[in-house]
Amino acid sequence: MGNTRVIFTDSDDNGEPEIIQEADYYPFGMRHDRSITATNHYLYNGKELNADLGLDWYDYGARWLDVETGRWSSIDPLAESYASMSPFNYVANNPIIRIDPDGRENIAVVGSQNENGAGNKLMFVNQALRSMRIWAEEQSNETRTMVLFTEGYSDNQITAIAESVSAFGGHLVLVNSSQELTNYLNSGEVSSNEVSEYRINDKITDVDIYAHGIVGSIEFGYKTSKADIYRFNSMNAESLNSSAFQSNGCITSYACRTGLGNFDIYGTSLFRNPNYSNSLAKQIADNSGIFVRAFAVRTSYVGTLGNAFDRRHNNPLYPLPTQKMVDGAAFTPRGSNRPVTGGSTPIGLPRSIMGFYSEKNKM
């Protein structure tokens, strides 16, 4: 949860580490012993403590958290959206498993392991870690989550992924079906698809999706034994609830052809009518109520770990990522250094990422 528990000096006179600050917390952040002077003021949830008035209050930006009562000093900015709960509540009264930096969440969704050689096996993961890194740098107050479809990943790989996600201040959620993904998006839990008070209190701002795709579906389990239950299609899109998403948020699919609505990708009719309005991207936009970005062509991960110019000239704008091998797969703990780009097929369609607006936002 980002809590600072113990702070040491390098050593005391005897060469042993010396504790200079120690904090144990009650569930909502009140310290067991408040008589210890806070040398470091960033404690519970990594937020700054202000104890000048003899109270433990933490600065969450838009408002202050009183940890003695587990309530805010002012009402939640989204209080009208969840009238059944107290406007002064914190993380739906479940601080053991939830944090709420500012009431928003960014989510990177990763499909099953790609099986095209050691350099590509973790290409979806490496790109999702890039998203996590950028969010940590540019939207540091947001909650960060990676949702991982587990098929094909070894225990060692999942452990390495979890460590990197944690290093970016996020947490890893494991799913084993597209329904569990939909459940998490709607409720914040993999076991329920009902829009929860927690999700209304912690709406989704951004979602980045890394997986295989064909026209009409995102293939989170492409060519695996779980392809059918991992497939995300129009039925899943229809079950998305717009109450779970920030109206100014964005979903970006880096799966192939999410923005293409014509299934006859090799027929001549494609060039007369790509049928973007019938694409999965448009269906996701209409049901989530937010803006969606997607490619109509195949996507390319070539060069995402660095191109020839980066390697030859040590390009400071795109420094080559540190790699290590984890169970036969190249893993970059800080993620890829370049984004996914549009490919070349179907021929004749724009390679740039396209935007899809929700009809709900046009009303």
Q: What is the pLDDT of residues 125-174, one digit of tens each?
A: 999 999 999 998 887 777 899 999 999 999 999 999 999 999 999 999 99
| Token pair in block for residue 104 | 């928003």
Pair 244, 194: CB distance under 8 Å: no
Pair 112, 125: CB distance under 8 Å: no
Nearest to 147 by CA among 115, 120, 124: 124
Nearest to 220 by CA among 111, 108, 109, 107: 111
3-state secondary structure (DSSP) of residue 80: helix
Residues 56-78 pLDDT 10s = 787 776 667 888 877 777 766 55
Pair 337, 304: CB distance under 8 Å: yes
Spatial separation of the C-alpha atoms in residues 230 and 74, rounded to whole Å: 42
Determine phi and psi for 294, rounding to 5 degrees.
-160, 160
Residue whose pair of structure tokens reads 């390098």 in the numeric block: 10
Spatial separation of the C-alpha atoms in residues 284 and 215, rounded to whole Å: 14
- First-to-last alpha carbon distance for the chain, in angstroms, is 39
Residues 176-222 pLDDT 10s = 999 999 999 999 899 988 877 778 777 899 999 999 999 999 999 99
Q: Give the pLDDT band (50/70/90) at residue 362.
A: very low
| Token pair in block for residue 42 | 């960033």
User: Hey, where are the domains in the chain?
Assistant: 1-74, 104-362
